[in-house]
Amino acid sequence: MNQTRDLRLGIVLGCSPHPQATLEDLWSRASDAAEPAGFRLSGTAFYVADRGQVPVSPDSALELVPLPPVGPGRLDAAIGAVARKGGPLGVAGRLARDNRESRVLARSIAGRAELQAALLAADVVVAADVSANRAVWQLRRRTPAPLVHGPIAMMHALRRKAEH
């Protein structure tokens, strides 16, 4: 008798322009990697609730947890103005904007114990975009779960879990 085993996925989605499509793609790929190996997939996805876009869970086994957006301040306005410029100054502005988004997201997750606990309980934790990398990477010494970026690395990590 082949028994179904549980596999828990943690997803952190930062400031993605298309959060619904990103979640659907990640969940579809995770299901494709886990189900043939006999795993029942479940997960929690944390996303920044901004821009009026509220993603819908692609599956009842995926719980969505909104993170409150940080209101724009004077620093955000200045960084945004520089990021819109062309040339090297614009590149530096976009890097500064990405760095700020990453820090804000990591701080919001680090400041809430229940969010940390959900990610630490996952078998694989995936950063869905660049702004989520810091939030995922801050778990590196606290969990044995693979911490990965993007759908391909997530699929490889899930397949490795399925082999063991």
CA distance 26 to 10: 11
Mean of pLDDT values over 77-88: 91
Cross-strand bridge partners of residue 46: 12, 65
Contact 26, 151 (CB under 8 A): yes
pTM of the predicted protein model: 0.88
| 119 lies in some domain | yes
Domain enclosing residue 126, as ranges: 5-69+109-163
Residue 49: inside a domain, yes or no?
A: yes
Is residue 37 a contact partner of residue 71, using CB atoms and an 8 Å limit?
no
Neighbours of 103 (CB within 10 A): 13
- Examine residue 88 and state whether it is found in any structural domain, yes or no: no
10 contacts 119 by C-beta, under 8 angstroms: yes
Specify the residue for token string 């950063």: 127
Total number of domains in the chain: 1
Q: How do residues 33-62 score in pLDDT, each as one tens digit?
A: 988 888 899 999 999 887 677 888 888 999
Token pair for 35: 């189900």
Per DSSP, the residues of 130-156 read GGGHHHHHTTTTT--S-EEESHHHHHH
The CATH number assigned to the domain holding 118 equals 3.40.50
Residue 100 lies in a domain: no
Q: Which residue type is seen at 47?
A: Y
Residue 139, pLDDT score: 93
The per-residue pLDDT for 45 is 95
Q: Is 83 inside a domain boundary?
A: no
Q: Residue for token digits 């699929």?
A: 155
**Residue 138 burial (C-beta neighbours within 10 Å; 0-12, 13-18, 19+):** middle
Of 162 and 152, the structure prediction assigns the larger pLDDT to: 152
* Domain-embedded: residue 79: no
Report if residue 121 sits inside a domain: yes
Structural domain includes residue 31: yes
